[in-house]
A and B are shown apart, each in its own frame.
Chain A
Amino acid sequence: MILGTLTATPYLVLGAILFSAGMFGLLTRRNPLVMFMCVELMLNAVNLTFVALARELDDLGGQVAVFFVLVVAAAEVVVGLAIIVSIFRRRPSATADDLSLLKG
């Protein structure tokens, strides 16, 4: 802890605010790409809380969890963007509202 003056609380609060902002974006935006970016924002907010608690508890388990979240996020982006590309190939300029094929 070279600079250590802060506790984990400010980081946790920032993570909560970023997570809520990401959720707001996910709920309101209609461009599938931007919705996907909001999911990434939420993942990063959680990563921030992981690292904050890892330092607070002097435990590397939190940082390992962030590492695995990064790997899963990378795989998720690859597959998700492939799905979005194949959607846009069928119907250009689609928004999330247009993808209502499964609507009852």
Chain B
Amino acid sequence: METAVFVAGALVCLLGAFGLVTSENPVHAALSLVGTLIGIAVLFIAQDAEFLAAVQIIVYAGAIVVVFLFVIMLIGVETSEDLRVEPLAGQRAAAVVASLVLAVGLVGVFLLGEITGEPGAIAPHVEGEPNTEALGRVLFTDYLLAFEITSVLLVIGVVGAVTLARHRHAAMVDDDNPGDDIPAVVDQNEEEVAQ
């Protein structure tokens, strides 16, 4: 039973990864990424990580990919690249070799090596406790400090995104703020004409 679930999920993951790497249009790449993320959520459920599967769908497939699609719409889909040209000679061959070496090495480690970790050393599983409950208990006891630090990280992320993404010429009106001394956007074509 689990084998069937694994094969289905793995197929979806691999097809999504293949589509992500090979599709020229960024929208198609984003949709392939959704496929991979959902496949991984299925594999999470197969491994009794129900809470993480739900979070994976909501945060990754829901929020993160939607943000990707927003940005694609914002900057236009005509930015699709031509995969037939290879601007750096030998880059693709080198990438194939590097990826194959990495894949063979990692798979070899997983197939030949053995798992040496001590079972239940950090947060042992309590028999009969549901996954979400157990994760919540561990998160709000042993990992409380890390959990609080992530809230700081999220605040920094939001502030950073707003600072980066707002229009500079509007920001430069405010002379009191030395942090905004960044030159205004110069249109490249005009610059070339001036030269």
Residues of A that sit less than 8 Å from B by CB: 1-6, 8-14, 16-25, 27-31, 33-34, 36-38, 40-41, 44, 47-48, 51-61, 63-64, 66-68, 70-79, 81-86, 88-93, 95, 97
> Across the interface, do A41 and B123 meet the contact criterion of CB distance under 8 Å?
no
> Across the interface, do A51 and B122 meet the contact criterion of CB distance under 8 Å?
no
Q: How many A-B residue pairs have CB under 8 A?
A: 252
- Chain A, interface SS category: helix
**CB-defined contacts of A2 to chain B, threshold 8 Å:** 48
Interface string of B15-37 (1 = CB under 8 A from A): 00110110000100110010011
> Across the interface, do B6 and A24 meet the contact criterion of CB distance under 8 Å?
no
Given known A-B contacts A78-B158, A91-B188, A57 and B120 have beta carbons under 8 A apart = yes
> Across the interface, do A6 and B6 meet the contact criterion of CB distance under 8 Å?
yes
> Across the interface, do A41 and B99 meet the contact criterion of CB distance under 8 Å?
no
Q: Which of B14, B98, B125, B160 contacts A17 (CB 8 A)?
A: B14
Given known A-B contacts A74-B59, A81-B71, A37 and B40 have beta carbons under 8 A apart = no
> Across the interface, do B165 and A86 meet the contact criterion of CB distance under 8 Å?
yes
Q: Which of B20, B94, B131 contacts A41 (CB 8 A)?
A: B20
**CB-defined contacts of B107 to chain A, threshold 8 Å:** 13, 16-17
Q: Which of A16, A55, A71, A86 contacts B103 (CB 8 A)?
A: A16
The answer, yes or no, to whether B170 is at the interface (CB within 8 Å) is no
- A9 to B113, alpha carbons, bound, how many Å? 10
> Across the interface, do B67 and A71 meet the contact criterion of CB distance under 8 Å?
no
Q: Which of A14, A36, A38, A79 contacts B161 (CB 8 A)?
A: A79
> Across the interface, do A64 and B138 meet the contact criterion of CB distance under 8 Å?
yes
- A97 to B86, alpha carbons, bound, how many Å? 11
Residues of B that sit less than 8 Å from A by CB: 1-3, 5-6, 10, 13-14, 17-18, 20-21, 26, 29-30, 33, 36-37, 40, 43-44, 46-49, 51-52, 55-56, 59-60, 63-64, 67-68, 71-72, 74-76, 78-81, 87-88, 91-92, 94-96, 98-100, 102-103, 106-107, 110-111, 115, 117-125, 131, 134-135, 138-139, 143, 146, 150, 153-154, 156-158, 160-162, 164-165, 185, 188
> Across the interface, do B64 and A73 meet the contact criterion of CB distance under 8 Å?
yes
Of chain A, the residue at the smallest CB distance from B91 is A28
